[in-house]
């Protein structure tokens, strides 16, 4: 793969010739590690600065249990039913007749779950993963 530089180097080089794997290695180094903060605050805006409270506006307190809400006033966690509706467009709290459904029980014990699934004739084990397909990175220059 041939890459053209924006400006020539001191020795006059204007093109770089690399294999596709070398390009991927150079790009992979520039990707930040997971859960790494990309924005750093210094001085008064730093997380542990003594004067931070005087500079940053405080959110309005709502009547509720402390720790149950984020600083923006949103719920700390979304209910699972709302997540299903948001992601998969599944309305688990609505019946086909239009009525409201409620949760009667939540079964979390693996032995009980396997027993119910086998009684219903359903697979109780997770299907095996498919084999990894090989892909080629051969690019024409």
CA angle 101, 97, 94 (to 5 degrees): 30
Q: What is the pLDDT of residues 113-123, one digit of tens each?
A: 999 999 999 98
Q: Which residue has the higher pLDDT, 111 or 82?
A: 111
Helices (H) and strands (E) in the chain, counts: 4, 2
Residue 76 has phi, psi (to 5 degrees) of -65, -35
As a whole number, the mean pLDDT across the chain is: 80
The model's pTM is: 0.30
Express as a percent the part of the chain with pLDDT over 90.
Answer: 11
Q: What is the pLDDT of residue 61?
A: 64
């Amino acid at each position: 793969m041939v890459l053209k530089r924006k400006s020539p180097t001191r020795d006059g080089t204007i093109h770089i010739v690399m294999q596709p794997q070398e390009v991927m290695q150079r790009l992979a180094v520039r990707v930040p590690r997971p859960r790494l903060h990309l924005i750093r605050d210094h001085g008064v805006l730093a997380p542990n600065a003594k004067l931070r409270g005087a500079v940053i506006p405080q959110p309005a307190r709502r009547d509720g249990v402390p720790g149950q809400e984020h600083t923006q006033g949103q719920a700390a966690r979304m209910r699972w039913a709302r997540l299903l509706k948001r992601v998969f467009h599944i309305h688990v709290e609505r019946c086909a007749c239009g009525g409201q459904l409620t949760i009667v029980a939540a079964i979390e014990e693996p032995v009980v779950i396997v027993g119910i699934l086998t009684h219903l004739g359903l697979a109780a084990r997770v299907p095996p993963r498919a084999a990894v397909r090989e892909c080629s990175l051969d690019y024409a220059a």
